[in-house]
Amino acid sequence: MTTTAGLIADGVLIDGEAAIATTVDPSTGATVGAFRGATRSQLDRIAGLAADAEDRFRHTGAAVRAALLEDIALRMEDAGDEIVDLAVAESGLSRARMVSELGRTTGQLRMFAAALEEGGIGHRRADSTGGPTPVPLLLRTLAVGPVAVFAASNFPLAFSTAGGDVASALAAGCPVIVKAHSAHVATSVRVARAIADAVRASGLPGGVFGHLIGDREIGTGLVAHPAIRAVGFTGSRGGGQALARVAAERPHPIPVFAEMSSVNPVFVLPGSATEAVADGFVASLTLGGGQFCTNPGLVFVPAGAAGDAFVARSARLVEDAAAQTMLTGAIARAYSSSVEDACRRGAQLVASGIAAEPRNAPAAHLLEIDLAAFQEDARWMDEMFGAAGLVVRYPGAAQLVAAAEALDGQLTATIWHEGADDEATLRALLPVLERKAGRLISNGWPTGVAVSPAMVHGGPSPATTDARFTAVGTLAADRFLRPVAYQGFPESLLEGVLGADTNS
């Protein structure tokens, strides 16, 4: 057991003084770490440090910020074994997954470093006011200020302490304060130490990066704090909406980028309702215990013979699926009760996976509900977080398009199609799905989100709180930038006054 009294030293020295909390290995129940949370006055202090660092970091050149991100990646690699050990212990996820997620995390940091070096973060436009006495007008994007990031349970590395929200906020020139996820605090503290070391080595103020352990009240206090100018969150719909409400009720509201819930509908068109596609579906459904934001939890399959083989094959594969330890006991219990609830509401249990020996490892499930029932009750669109898929059989293209129209906002929508008839249906579906999702996938699977400049990981409510932005890819930095116009400043004055170029 790791005992960390307080949070991290170095630059953002804060000794926790609140009650001790522990993290456990969900597969054994063994305690992994024990931590004291931050008090309100410690929150104030860490927020004050971020505010103090704000002006300097906003005007730190792109090259310095790129070097900081690169150094964070290197320090995480140096501490890789330790970080992976802690993440495996606290998450119940496999070592292979955690090694891969560490690579994704450092790769993400380096993607933003490269984008900074190439001038791909933010933008500027030069122009003039026109009219009889034109003066120069320069628009450029500036960091919004300190960003609060709430770490995700399901990506202890890639969407947590040095994850996409943090990397994109630092790339934008915003100080960041991470609130550790209560399920993996030891991992978070270790990663935070690597970041704090990198900040110290860079010569930037310690307030560029802060880290907090705390309960819900501390989290709410962070969002309400006047120093905070934007919020990044990955988690439940209830959690994201609660933070959005706190942010909206501030005297000066701030944006919240909450990535919340999505059932990631898959539309299997008749030409594609094959066993091979069923193999891909169940692999995506059960990947990582189904604990991905992009898990395909809803699949539309042709009625009758055209879809029977797909469903039969999917059922057989789910029956063979091994149970996987879920991230926390609470998540495992919520998963099981969401499946039980669906059955109580009339879903048919088509198949269940291998019953579990280890703790917190419920079986995978395949359920089915008929189209009419699906369309009558919006609760069928509620996410069952875990490896549970809901099959809906559709008689024809018209009914499928109508079902798509009834969907809530989603991170992704996937269409499997083959041949001219399917393409006609795809043409009818696409305009509807463009309104519903942030990413549309043709003949692929939504899990395995590429970290790339053209990625969109976002979508209309309730998938996220703001469909105009993405949480993955270089565009994620736009969440933390705002345009400012400089009117009538001669170039010489701008150079002298503004110092190093902030973005682009």
Which residue lies nearer to a second copy by CB, 20 or 497?
497
Dihedral angle sign, alpha carbons of residues 325, 331, 335, 337 = positive
Q: Using an 8 Å Cβ cutoff, are 297 and 282 in contact?
A: no
CB of 407 to a second copy, least distance (A): 12
Tell me the closest approach of the beta carbon of residue 140 to a second copy, in angstroms: 9
Please identify, using beta-carbon distances, which residue of 45 and 482 lies nearer to a second copy: 482
Stretch that binds a second copy, among 69-77, 141-149, 215-223, 290-298 (CB under 8 A): 141-149
Tokens standing for residue 37? 């949370």
- What is the distance between the alpha carbons of residues 92 and 288, in angstroms, rounded to a whole number? 10
DSSP 263-280: ---EEE-GGG--HHHHHH
Of 497, 485, 453, 482, which is closest to residue 174 (Cα–Cα)? 482
* 95 forms part of the interface with a second copy (CB under 8 A): no
What's the Cα-to-Cα distance from 317 to each of 277, 294, 311, rounded to whole Å? 12, 20, 10
Tokens standing for residue 31 = 């305690």
Q: Is 276 in the site for a second copy (CB under 8 A)?
A: no
Return the number of the residue (5 or 485) whose C-beta is nearest a second copy. Answer: 485
Q: Name residues whose C-beta falls within 8 Å of residue 279's C-beta, 6 or more positions apart in sequence.
A: 313, 317
Nearest approach, Cβ of residue 419 and a second copy (Å): 12
Helix, strand, coil share of the chain (percent; to 5): 45, 20, 35
Residue number with CB closer to a second copy (188 or 474) = 474
**Window 105 to 134, contacts with a second copy (CB under 8 A):** 125-131
Measured from the CB of residue 496, what is the shortest distance to a second copy in angstroms? 8
Site for a second copy in 212-271 (CB under 8 A): 244-245, 248, 252-255
Q: How far is the CB of 497 from a second copy (least distance, A)?
A: 5
Return the residue of 468, 491, 495, 500 that touches a second copy, per CB under 8 A: 468
CB closer to a second copy, 118 vs 434: 434
Is residue 465 within the footprint of a second copy (CB under 8 A)? yes
Q: Which of 116, 438, 477, 503 binds a second copy (CB under 8 A)?
A: 438
Q: Which of residues 15-54 bind a second copy (CB under 8 A)?
A: 54
- The piece of 32-40, 264-272, 324-332, 470-478 that touches a second copy (CB under 8 A) is 470-478
Q: Which residues in the 378-437 window bind a second copy by CB under 8 A?
A: 408-409, 423, 426-427, 430-432, 434-435, 437
- Which are the contacts of 281, defined by CB distance < 8 A and separation ≥ 6? 266, 268, 296, 299, 310, 314, 389, 445
Annotated active-site residue 174? The verdict is no
- Report 328-387 residues binding a second copy (CB under 8 A): none
Task: Out of 3, 337, 348, 452, name the contact with a second copy by CB under 8 A.
Answer: 452
Stretch that binds a second copy, among 3-11, 167-175, 391-399, 472-480 (CB under 8 A): 472-480
Type and span of the H or E element at 63:
helix 62-78
Under rule CB under 8 A, how many of the chain's residues touch a second copy? Answer: 77
**173 is an interface residue for a second copy by CB under 8 A:** no
Residue 259 catalytic? Answer: yes
Tell me which of 90, 101, 259, 368 is the catalytic residue: 259
Q: What is the DSSP string of 443-456?
A: SS-SSS---STT--
Q: Which residues contact 464 (CB under 8 A, 6 or more apart)?
A: 240, 257, 258, 259, 260, 409, 411, 438, 458, 471
Shorter beta-carbon distance to a second copy: residue 150 or 445: 445
Residue tagged 């609060």 (tokens): 148
Which residue lies nearer to a second copy by CB, 246 or 339?
A: 246
Helix residue ranges, H only, 118-226: 164-172, 185-202, 216-224
Q: Pairing between strand 230-234 and 256-259? A: parallel
- Among residues 101, 174, 293, 383, the one annotated as catalytic is 293
Pairing between strand 410-416 and 388-394?
A: unpaired
Nearer to a second copy, 130 or 304 (CB): 130
Which whole-number Å values give the CA distances from 485 to 5, 481, 493, in the listed order? 46, 13, 14
At closest approach, how far in Å is the CB of 349 from a second copy? 30
Active site residues: 259, 293
